[in-house]
Amino acid sequence: MAVEASESVLDHPAVDTEGRELLTELVSIPSVSGNETEAAEALAAFFERHDREVWIDDIGNVRAPGDDTILLTSHIDTVPGDIPVEIKDGEEGPELWGRGSVDATGPLAAMAIAAVETGASFVGVVGEESTSRGAWHLIENREAPEAIINGEPSGWDGITLGYRGLLEGTYVATSESGHTSRPDPNAIQHAMSWWERVEDVFEPDEWIPVFEQVTTKPVEFEGGISVDGLSMESTMEFQLRVPPERTPEEVRELSDAELETGTVNWTEFIPAVMTSPRSEVARLFRVAIREQGGDPRLLRKTGTADMNIYADEWGCPIVSYGPGDSNLDHTPHEHLSLAEFDHSIDVLIEVCEQLGVETGDSKHSEPTE
């Protein structure tokens, strides 16, 4: 089905540039986290056609080293969801519909084009929508670049400077089985009670922006009688988003303080990131956006991205940028304006050139594995 969709959409008159062709091809290839191989191979083939050194590393990342003045990186994987790949007429011209068109195949394809045009280093990473395994592998297997542009949808005229951090954990409780008429709380009630107390600790304040608050979200729950019938069990997976003003350690301690029954295993621990709008990279983005006729917007996002990991581990200047409306992330309505996609490529090329990226300059390139 993916091949048929790709062939028909690639023949559309709106697919009239190399960038649009690459974008459409990649969106037409299913690339849910854990199944990125086909999309990675198509992306690597694009760099090979342009005589760029490229390889797919041990974990599945597409690595195309170049001038490490700037590293252009985005993720290959998407969340699940079958959205027919097609081009529709929109208010600002043709739009490409399909899973990943916004998050983050649009930014990924724009960066691939900009990397080929300028000689900048490029990496397409896997697993961002799950464990960020591609980003962690990158941290462990290459030196830090001088600066990073992380590909996520911000709109072609927007720059994302901040993301909240993430705490993930699993709550587990057990209790003796008994008749449901008994007043003693069971394991399911213990889980519910603990979670209610955690929500009370971080109660939302309508007068404070969401970015500046801790938000709580259960994401999976299982509970009931054990297999042997002798106990009641409950297991809850949950997430806490952490603003830059609070540390993950502080949020974890406050949550643990509400624990009366059961145990919590904390499984993910990613600090928030908030970069300066006065950095040279951010300044050059503002200039490039204005040159394209846009009014630059500075954004803070309530989620978490690979940008958090790079900022914490490498500490180099970084922003997130890419075409697309992030309100469409993970929704059944995910689509990208092709005109916006084109604008984002021009902005990326201008920023790379102003940073001094030189085609063929490999003095800071990463070594081939």
Looking at the domain covering 165-270, what would its CATH class be?
A: alpha beta
Taking each helix axis as running N to C, give the angle between helix 338-354 and helix 105-118, from 0 to 180 degrees, rounded to the nearest 10.
Answer: 40
**Are 279 and 311 in contact, with CB atoms under 8 Å apart?**
no
pLDDT of residue 366: 67
Single out the catalytic residue among 25, 57, 95, 128: 128
- Percent of the chain whose pLDDT exceeds 70: 93
Query: Which residue among 77, 329, 340, 366 is the active-site one?
Result: 77
196 touches 218 (CB < 8 A): no
Residue 4 has pLDDT above 60, yes or no: no
What digits encode the pLDDT tens for the residues 314-326? 999 999 999 999 9
Distance CA 360, CA 42 (A): 22
What's residue 365's pLDDT? Answer: 55
**Are the C-beta atoms of 128 and 59 separated by less than 8 Å?**
no
pLDDT in tens, 153-210: 999 999 999 999 999 999 999 987 755 556 678 999 999 999 999 999 999 999 999 9
Per-residue pLDDT tens for 154-165?
999 999 999 999
In the three-class reduction of DSSP (H, G, I as helix; E, B as strand; rest coil), residue 232 is classed as strand
Token pair belonging to 66: 């170049």
Q: Tell me, yes or no, if 346 is annotated catalytic.
A: no
Q: Where in the chain is the domain with CATH 3.40.630.10?
A: 2-164+273-354
Q: Quick one: angle between helices 37-49 and 18-27, nearest 10? A: 160
Tell me which CATH code domain 2-164+273-354 carries.
3.40.630.10
Is the CB of residue 232 less than 8 Å from the CB of residue 244?
no
CATH 3.30.70.360 residue ranges for the chain: 165-270
**Known active-site residue 77:** yes
Q: Virtual CA dihedral for 60, 65, 25, 330, nearest 10 degrees? A: 60
pTM of the model: 0.90
pLDDT band at 363 (very low <50, low <70, confident <90, very high): very low
Residues 6+ apart with CB under 8 A from 257: none
Task: State the DSSP code for 361.
Answer: -
- What mean pLDDT is reported for the chain? 92
**Model confidence at 361, in pLDDT bands (50, 70, 90)?**
very low
**Which amino acids are annotated as binding site for Zn(2+), given as ranges?**
75, 103, 129, 152, 330
Gap between the Cα atoms of 302 and 208, Å rounded = 13
Q: What percent of the chain has pLDDT over 90?
A: 86
Secondary structure of residue 251 in the 3-state scheme: helix
Q: Identify the pLDDT of residue 92.
A: 86
